[in-house]
């Protein structure tokens, strides 16, 4: 049996648990994932649709489904944090890795849609590293 891991939103309105049993883990660099996350890529884990127990806040979740394409996003209506959702096909539960409180055991399978990766992200990977905000000058 897989370990239980927990997750939720930033404001604490939504809490869930699931088994640490993921089939795939992708960093997606497509334009749609960048827009949905506001970041350089989405970090999504895939598991079976029934692998989630909502402990709190199911009524606080909003969902956006693109009307013409097969991408979606679920998020907390209070803080906007990305949350797990069932794919449009119904075959997978897609879990934003950043919504987890614990590290999943699944390692990254691939960076996908790399042809759409931004130059600023590529350059940023080589940027200076800091443990917090850098000192202001």
Which CATH number does the domain housing residue 91 bear? 2.170.150.70
For residue 19, what are the contacts with CB-CB under 8 A and spacing of at least 6?
1, 2, 3, 4, 5, 47, 51
In a domain, 14, yes or no: yes
In a domain, 135, yes or no: no
In a domain, 86, yes or no: yes
Quote the number of domains for the chain. 1
Q: What is the residue range of 18's domain?
A: 4-117
The 10 Å Cβ neighbour count of residue 40 is: 17
Q: Residue 1's pLDDT is what?
A: 60
Predicted confidence pLDDT, tens digits, the chain (137 residues): 679 999 999 999 999 999 999 999 999 998 888 988 889 999 999 999 999 999 999 999 999 988 877 788 999 999 999 999 999 889 999 999 999 999 999 999 999 999 998 889 888 888 888 889 888 76
CA-closest candidate to residue 23, choices 41, 2, 37, 40: 2
In a domain, 95, yes or no: yes
In a domain, 51, yes or no: yes
């Amino acid at each position: 049996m897989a370990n239980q891991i927990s997750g939720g939103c930033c404001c604490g309105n939504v809490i869930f648990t699931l088994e640490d049993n993921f089939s795939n883990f992708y960093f997606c660099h497509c334009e749609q994932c960048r827009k949905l996350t506001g970041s350089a890529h989405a970090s999504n884990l895939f598991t079976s649709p029934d692998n989630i127990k909502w402990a709190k806040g199911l009524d606080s979740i909003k969902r956006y489904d693109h009307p013409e394409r097969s991408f979606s996003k679920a998020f907390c209506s209070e803080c906007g944090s990305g949350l797990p959702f069932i794919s449009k096909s119904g075959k997978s539960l897609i879990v934003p890795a950043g919504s987890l409180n614990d590290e999943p055991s699944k390692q990254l399978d691939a960076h996908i849609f790399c042809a759409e990766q931004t130059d600023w992200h590529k350059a940023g990977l080589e940027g200076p590293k800091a443990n917090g905000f850098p000192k202001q000058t």
